[in-house]
Structure 1
Amino acid sequence: MNETMQLPQLPQLRERFYRRERRSVRAAREYVRSALADWGLGEARADDVVVCVSELATNALVHGVPPGRGYRLMLWLHEGQVRVEVHDSGDGEPGVRESDGESGRGLVIVDALADRWGVGERVPGKVVWCEFDVRVVTASR
């Protein structure tokens, strides 16, 4: 009898550091879209993740990254869940706020698209994260 032992799935992690530059938001979106495609994530949910990455990266640039610094993007896939974290060194407590018409909708969008999100501590600064329940699509043989 041939028995196959199934090993636990290890989390898959991707991370990248971005400088405080406007073009870093586009670069972060492209990086995440590529990682999600590598992992076999369905297109519809991948779009939600990429939009949230764009909003969190923009918030880090506008509100969380002092001049001369940057932010770190971390992306995990583990047991049917994608987790996005944006680490920055700025203070402040991000939250859903009233929009002034020009800005202020970023976390409203994250709240609408992600299954969960929140803010964690980091010294210095903070981590803004969001999570998505996903189904990974594998190629059939």
Structure 2
Amino acid sequence: MKEFERKQLLERVNREGATVGADIPERITVQGEEVDLQQFVFEIKRRDTVPAGERERVDRAKKNLRRERLQRLQRIEDGEVNYEEGERLVESIIGIDRALNALEQLGPANLESEAQAQEAADRKRWMTFLKKALGHKDTSHNTRGRL
């Protein structure tokens, strides 16, 4: 591969908005393992929040996708491939980026809403406990800020 072709491929990968309109690959080999990437991402995104048991799986998937992306990019940077293979690598890297973007969007927003819901539940339990401890019988009315 010629130097200008290599630079052109690298520029495509690093272009802002490269993932706009890009598809998440249906299947991809990540760290030597075949993954139904599109199905995995859609399955996770379909839920409102990522269950605690799935969070570890999602984090592991993101870590493996980042590692795979870096390895594919390195092959282009090192000039280990011809231009046609470089083109395929660029398309797969952009697809990985698209999947990572989709998975990253799940993170903080869902964690924040889960934390808020947990805090509200804790507050409610605490108020119920205080009412019972202080001998208040009617707990059906919302007495926000009062006992």
Q: Same fold (TM over 0.5)?
A: no
More strand by share: 1
Could you say which TM-score interval applies, normalised by the shorter chain?
under 0.3
With CA pairs under 8 Å and 6+ residues apart, which has the higher RCO, 1 or 2?
A: 2
- The TM-score, its normalising length taken from structure 1, stands at 0.26
Larger radius of gyration: 2
